[in-house]
Amino acid sequence: MSDIEALKKEKLDLIDKMLELQKQFMEYEHENGISGKDYWASSEGLLAGYRQEYMDMANRVVDIAHEIVGSSRL
């Protein structure tokens, strides 16, 4: 597998994980509701670290996309 193919696979795997996290978030929100405080400062359950984990994956997806096409983030 070439480096580009490996990057594309990693990107697709991350997107799949992000979609699963979104699905879990929506299910949680529909069942429990989510306050701003829960979303921004929860320290337990699904929401603990959710924003940071999702943001890290999203940033990695963007970095991979740039790497694949040979560009860079400004």
Handedness of CA 51, 54, 56, 61 (dihedral sign): negative
Residues of the chain predicted below pLDDT 70: none
Question: Is residue 74 assigned to a domain?
Answer: no
- Domains in the chain, number: 1
Domain that holds residue 45: 3-69
Question: Is residue 26 assigned to a domain?
Answer: yes
Give the list of residues 6+ apart from residue 57 with CB closer than 8 angstroms, or none. Answer: 14, 17, 18, 21
Question: Is residue 36 assigned to a domain?
Answer: yes
Angle between helices 50-69 and 3-32 (to 10 degrees): 150
Question: Is residue 34 assigned to a domain?
Answer: yes
Question: Is residue 51 assigned to a domain?
Answer: yes
Question: Is residue 55 assigned to a domain?
Answer: yes
Question: Is residue 62 assigned to a domain?
Answer: yes
Question: Is residue 21 assigned to a domain?
Answer: yes
Whole-number Å distance between alpha carbons of 27 and 5? 33
